[in-house]
Structure 1
Amino acid sequence: MSKLEHAVTAPSVEDIRTWCALCGADDRASDLIASLVAADTMWTEWRRLERTGLRQANKSVVPLWEATRWFRIYSSCLIPGPVQHEGYIRALLTATKNRRGLTDDVEETVAVRVAKQKVVHGDRRFAIVVEESALRYRIGGARVLADQLRHLLEVMSLPSISLGVVPLNADRTRLRPTEMFFMFDEKQVSAEFVSGWLRITAPGEIALYAQAFQLLTSMAVHGDAARSLILASLEALGD
């Protein structure tokens, strides 16, 4: 009990049933067990997800992408997956493989990621907001970033995509840059961190991310103004 009380170990299903029985609260057991299961599935370490390689980890989210009709995506650090150029994808995956010591299935995973982008063509909606800094970080080097920025200029004209860029000089009083997150309809939010990713399904928490996304969208520029920031980043690369 001391280990449970001090969060040294997590309770098992049997621990919860036994404790509720001893406390005369058997009616609470089902809810508490459901909360335990939800907590266990919210956080996934990259090493657990990628234990069989990057390709399988990327394939695992394809059903969710195909089932989603409305994507809301925010990134402060890189261009998000649905609008990434092939070279940019390869650079990101190669760095991930090297950093985490994974099996080299980069080329197979690039093919999965590129194929997954078919969802941007059709009746789905993509509202994407990135920080201007994401247009400047030289992932893959200057040439790869230049290709990515040109690709972004092309895909932002698709009817399914709304792209906003939060300028570096925007007033951030209302909300600072946050973690990268994906919203899948009103059903789930995925947020990415250094050691793993968080799957959020509680309606109240999803509502908080929706509020944050609305604020970030209001700070961003769109259309020609966003295009100008992308072109300025290209010019800074000498392209």
Structure 2
Amino acid sequence: MSTQAAAAKKAFGIRLRDLRKDAGLTGRQLSEASGLHNTKISRIEHGQQNPSEEDIRAWCIACGVARMIPELIAVQREIERMWVEWRRDLRSGQQHVQSRAMPLYERTELLCVYESVIVPGILQTPGYVRALFESAGRLYDLPEGEAEAAVAARMPRQQLITAGTGRNRYNFLVEAGALSIIVGSVGVMREQLDFLLTVTALPHVSLGVIPPNRVRTLYPGEGFYIFDGKLVRSELWSGGFRTNQPEEIDTFLRAFAMLRDLAVHGAPARALIEAIRDHLQTGENL
């Protein structure tokens, strides 16, 4: 589980503990009044176990705060959505996982993306996407043959950028090191970098590259997507994190602003991308 999701789970347990204490109940008294086992109450309060919606109802009624049931259930549902295990999520197939995100991208007017180890997903070329999905198949033991369908499901997102409707805007930040990692093959990477060079000329797209020799005011971190300043999604090897909590989003917005100050844009960014592309062919280091 991500640090953010674990912290939210723990904070929710503390909130329930405070309700118990405000009601003047010990753990054992709450157990008798609610029907919840005393051990379960302890685990919930320490963030070691998620309460069910029925647990929350019983807890609130026993503490005399039944009016808070809808609010607390809504908070609990959001916490449960914060973390998705890839092995469980991918049971429905990579194609389904890719397709279901399309409506979110379509309605997002400002997308801010930071990536430290890969090219942002919405900017990935078919060859790059295919190589990533084949790697995911090996990592998660997925059935063979899913990659092509997943590529087809992913690519419509990119048309939102290349079509340039005028309503959608995109701000991308990428660590230079991510552009030097060979995904698929050198040929795939050169094609990918060529596409990034094309994207830098689009009026509705800002693409910043953070040079490898930059003195850091903020260390590199996990990649993340910010949708209209209202939703943040981040992916790890084991699962995905998401949140719409204002305080969490504010942290990501501040991080994005700090990282943007480290990046180069326009002609300097294009020169850096071209240098990386040329050195991929020769095998030299930048």
Quote the residue 1:70 is aligned against. Answer: 110
The Cα of 1:30 is off from its aligned counterpart by 2.6
Q: Is the 8 A contact 1:77 1:133 kept in 2?
A: yes
SS in 2 for 1:237: helix
Letter in 2 for 1:192: E
| Distance across 1 between alignment mates of 2:117 and 2:280 | 18
Count of aligned pairs between the two proteins: 238
Among 247, 252, 270, the alignment partner of 1:227 is: 270
The Cα of 1:141 is off from its aligned counterpart by 2.2
Q: Are 1:202 and 2:245 an aligned pair?
A: yes
Q: Are 1:157 and 2:197 an aligned pair?
A: no
| Distance across 1 between alignment mates of 2:212 and 2:42 | 45
Among 210, 213, 224, the alignment partner of 2:256 is: 213
Quote the residue 2:123 is aligned against. Answer: 83
Q: Is the 8 A contact 2:78 2:243 kept in 1?
A: no
Deviations 1:156-175 (A, max 9, x none): 21112110001111121x31
Quote the residue 1:3 is aligned against. Answer: 40
The Cα of 1:25 is off from its aligned counterpart by 2.5
Alpha-carbon RMSD: 1.4
Q: Is the 8 A contact 1:69 1:185 kept in 2?
A: yes
Letter in 2 for 1:89: V
Letter in 2 for 1:35: V
Stretches of structure 2 lacking an aligned partner (at least 5 in a row): 1-37
Q: Are 1:117 and 2:161 an aligned pair?
A: no
Q: TM-score, normalised by structure 1?
A: 0.95
Letter in 2 for 1:105: E
Q: Are 1:133 and 2:133 an aligned pair?
A: no
Q: Are 1:143 and 2:181 an aligned pair?
A: no
Quote the residue 1:106 is aligned against. Answer: 147
Deviations 1:36-72 (A, max 9, x none): 1111111111122211210000001001000101110
Q: Is the 8 A contact 1:189 1:199 kept in 2?
A: yes
The Cα of 1:8 is off from its aligned counterpart by 4.3
Q: Is the 8 A contact 1:76 1:131 kept in 2?
A: yes
Among 61, 66, 76, the alignment partner of 2:101 is: 61
| Distance across 2 between alignment mates of 1:53 and 1:218 | 39
Q: Is the 8 A contact 1:77 1:131 kept in 2?
A: yes
SS in 1 for 2:225: strand
Q: Are 1:47 and 2:84 an aligned pair?
A: no
Letter in 2 for 1:2: T
Letter in 1 for 2:206: S
- Which structure's CA Rg is the greater one? 2
| Distance across 1 between alignment mates of 2:233 and 2:48 | 27
> Which has the larger helix fraction?
2
| Distance across 2 between alignment mates of 1:154 and 1:94 | 26
Stretches of structure 1 lacking an aligned partner (at least 5 in a row): none
| Distance across 2 between alignment mates of 1:78 and 1:41 | 24
